[in-house]
Amino acid sequence: MDRIEACRARYAAMLARSAGATGTPLERAFALVPRERFVGPEPWLVEGDLGFVPAPPDDPAILYQDVLVALSLERGINNGQPSLHAGSLAALAIRPGERVVHIGAGTGYYTAILAELAGPRGEVLAYEIEPDLAARARANLQPWPTVEVLAASACESPLATADAIYVSAGATHPLPSWLDALAPGGRLMFPLTSDHGGGMLLVTRPGPGRDLRDRRGIGYAARFTSNAAFIACRGARNEDNARAVAAAFRDGSPARVRSLWRGGQTDETAWCLGSGWWLSSAAE
């Protein structure tokens, strides 16, 4: 093992520890995927106390710390906080052979992690709305033949049925098309955010034969797994939902959330009242 491989292995172990996933396929995935392949040519810009600054040259070891790396500083696009993604992916619990959709793939680093988790029998469909980033992701992901990259929005048309959907851009609401794409037992992980941050929300469709429909609407299990702040997901934001999310985070603990409902009649367990959807502190 050379020096950079050793740094990557220590980084993977640190991330797995932070996510409660030591010794799991998640740790192996982070140990296998070279982050330097996905962050473009040097000089790399990493976030420090004074904002993004150039990393020391000719040393990828800096990338194997829990740091943000800029992909496009002028557009506010970065490679993402590894510990946040590790925790989110641990909760999403990708299984070998699953079909995964990644929304907001950037240049493909976390897409590659998803592909490692889904394995050679799985499939990953990655959406990236920025054409230049999509082209870079397509080139970067050549070693992962189970990945397909689309230079397109994932908010404008129905998605293919998926076992798991992972969103790497902030939405003010769960899009109906995302929820509709979930297979029975499927999971959606996305950043539910206002203009002031929010949290990573894990939504799970009931398993086969257990679809929930009652006066509260169509029900899903839901819980927040961490706080989160992300670049906006174009096509998945509106002002009314942003205000509702901001008010919910201001007035109550996200740890109370247990379910998501589409439509239907709200009740006293409501935690966040969106447009056509709501979060409840009661189990689904």
Please give the single-letter amino acid code of residue 130.
E
Is the model's pLDDT at 259 over the cut of 70? Answer: yes
Cα distance between residue 27 and residue 112, in whole Å? 13
DSSP annotation of 143 = T
46-78 pLDDT per residue, tens: 998 889 999 988 899 999 999 999 999 999 999
Other C-beta atoms closer than 10 Å to the C-beta of 225 total 18
Task: Quick: pLDDT tens for 242-255.
Answer: 999 999 999 889 99
Place 1 in a pLDDT band, splitting at 50, 70 and 90: low
Distance (Å, whole) CA 204 – CA 257: 13
* Rounded distance between C-alpha atoms, residue 31 and residue 168, angstroms: 21
Please tell me what DSSP assigns to residue 170.
B
pLDDT tens digits for 142-198?
999 999 999 999 999 999 999 999 999 999 999 999 999 999 999 999 999 999 999
Tell which residue, 245, 192, 201, 243, has the closest CA to residue 225: 201
Report how far residue 87's alpha carbon sits from residue 159's, in angstroms, rounded to the nearest whole number: 25
Q: Compute the distance between CA of residue 46 and CA of residue 263 in angstroms, rounded to an integer.
A: 43
The fraction of the chain above a pLDDT of 70, given in percent, is 99
Q: Which two tokens stand for residue 31?
A: 């140990």
pLDDT above 90: residue 10: yes
Higher pLDDT, 157 or 284: 157
pLDDT score at 215? 78
**Residue 212 confidence (pLDDT):** 72
Please write the tens of the pLDDT for every residue from 194-237.
Answer: 999 999 999 999 988 676 777 788 999 999 999 999 999 999 99
What is the spatial distance between Cα 85 and Cα 245, in angstroms, rounded to a whole number?
Answer: 21
For the chain, the domains span 188-284
- At 53, the amino acid letter reads V
